[in-house]
A = this chain, B = another copy of it.
């Protein structure tokens, strides 16, 4: 319950599946899997135009303390994404260019943080992508235990170690590890469907028509009028 653990080994989804999910765009993945897994609008990228997919290595920290992030580095593998959650709200800058150097050296693809990060100019220059709630210089200590690779809750979404993290300019979506292949299938279906829809919309057809919404509007009691008087 109150036990603090560092779990060395976690199961991960197939890397090729993860890579494809990461490039599909988080809004598409979120829709394809039934509108679940979106961690919310408060987790924002510090860069623009970057899409990643990776396996979650989770960290549960005491606010203002980054000792467990250091512990987590060791268990990360190429293709992972570090997901840091705190036991209470915090704006601390828990992560900067030094830990990013370590993670890049190990092939880690990015960071998702529910507190703050710093050295953002360097992080962008290094090409290490970050999604975070805050940017803050405020330094941290290394005094209070936490855990690595335990289930965490990020913005209303449970993240299990090894779940697939997809992140782009729209934010972060979590796909359960066991659902990864299914999610990719659904995502690819949706991408095809969206391409077809886009072509029709581009040609001037209306969503109102091919989604069949005209009758629904009438059923809901919406009236068309030429002018408001």
On A, residues with C-beta under 8 Å from B are 1-10, 25-27, 30-31, 33-36, 38, 40-41, 44, 48-49, 51, 62-65, 67, 70-71, 73-74, 87-93, 96-99, 101-102, 104-106, 116, 118-122, 124, 134-139, 141-147, 149-150, 153, 156-158, 161, 168-171, 173, 179, 194, 197-198, 201-204, 206-208, 211, 213, 216-217, 220-228
Q: List 26 A-B contacts (CB under 8 A).
A: A3-B223, A8-B225, A8-B227, A9-B227, A10-B227, A27-B137, A40-B138, A41-B91, A41-B134, A51-B121, A63-B64, A64-B87, A70-B207, A71-B213, A73-B207, A98-B207, A102-B207, A105-B203, A120-B169, A120-B170, A121-B168, A124-B169, A137-B173, A142-B216, A145-B217, A147-B222
CB proximity of A153 to chain B, nearest CB, Å: 5
